[in-house]
Structure 1
């Protein structure tokens, strides 16, 4: 039976992939070979060491994208109604009955009146109306990691068991 021969062969090399743990958290077959060879020297002929792989799951931070704020200018047409006033000339004639004393003389005369009007004046002022910031929120989530790990199993077979199977 091949299984029995493998278990009793003390000089066999360790299985490939039986990895040791190194300082930089990387598993290597070379480290495992050195480890198993040194451990085998400490074993008696009736002992075997069973190995299994363990998952060491960590996290790394990586850039996933960028967000940016960009201001740009658009022009909109705005119409505002402004009430304005202006003065106009109106000639008014008032008849006199001859009793008013004017003491005047006949001759040329000029009367001048200054007219006024309001005009809409446009002035522009730049004012801040809103503050916009980019904030980052950390969202907590759980990510499921599936990986296969190997284990060594040990079976014990005796000559009595072998006879019972025949």
Structure 2
């Protein structure tokens, strides 16, 4: 079997160079840094303001038509505080009067009416008449 190569054939090997570059730290010296604190005292005058507020409640309790605006009176700011208040009014109103008069009126009327009355009639059977007895009131006797 043949290797498939021609005996006359030669091989040439080609080479290539590659560059490899790197770096490394190299200590050439060192530096030390120190701080020194120097102290000195200074005096400074400084004006500081502090504001405070004084609130005084002044009762007014007066009805107004419109809300008054806040106002300034010297160094005092006056702020109105409002409150709605329910107002119910109850009053007596004389609507009318009734004038009542009593009148007496007299008239004469003629009236015809049948009236009845009863009378008792006593009948005795003892033979005496009613006039013979004085104890009995007068009456009519029927026989």
Above 0.5 in TM-score? Answer: no
Bigger share in helix: 1
TM-score, normalized by length of structure 1?
A: 0.17
Q: Which has the larger Rg?
A: 2
